[in-house]
Amino acid sequence: ARQREKVTDEHNTRLSATVDKLLAE
């Protein structure tokens, strides 16, 4: 379960970075 949590957290971080990039444009 912890491994899955880590993967989800990384995915959320990457997703947030993508959103920030799109909003910055």
Give the amino acid at 11. Answer: H
Q: What is the pLDDT of residue 1?
A: 77
Q: What is the pLDDT of residue 16?
A: 98
Predicted local distance difference test score (pLDDT) of residue 19: 97
The pLDDT tens digits for 1-25 are 789 999 999 999 999 999 999 999 8
Task: Provide the domain count of the chain.
Answer: 1
3-state DSSP assignment of residue 11? helix
Q: By residue range, what is the domain housing residue 19?
A: 1-25
Say what the pTM is: 0.57
pLDDT at 17: 98
pLDDT score at 4:
95
Alpha-helix runs per DSSP H in the chain: 2-24
What pLDDT shows up at residue 12? 98
**Within 13 Å, how many C-alpha atoms sit on residue 23's CB side?**
6
> Whole-angstrom Cα distance, residue 24 to residue 11?
20
- What is the C-alpha to C-alpha distance for residues 12 and 25, in angstroms, rounded to an integer? 20
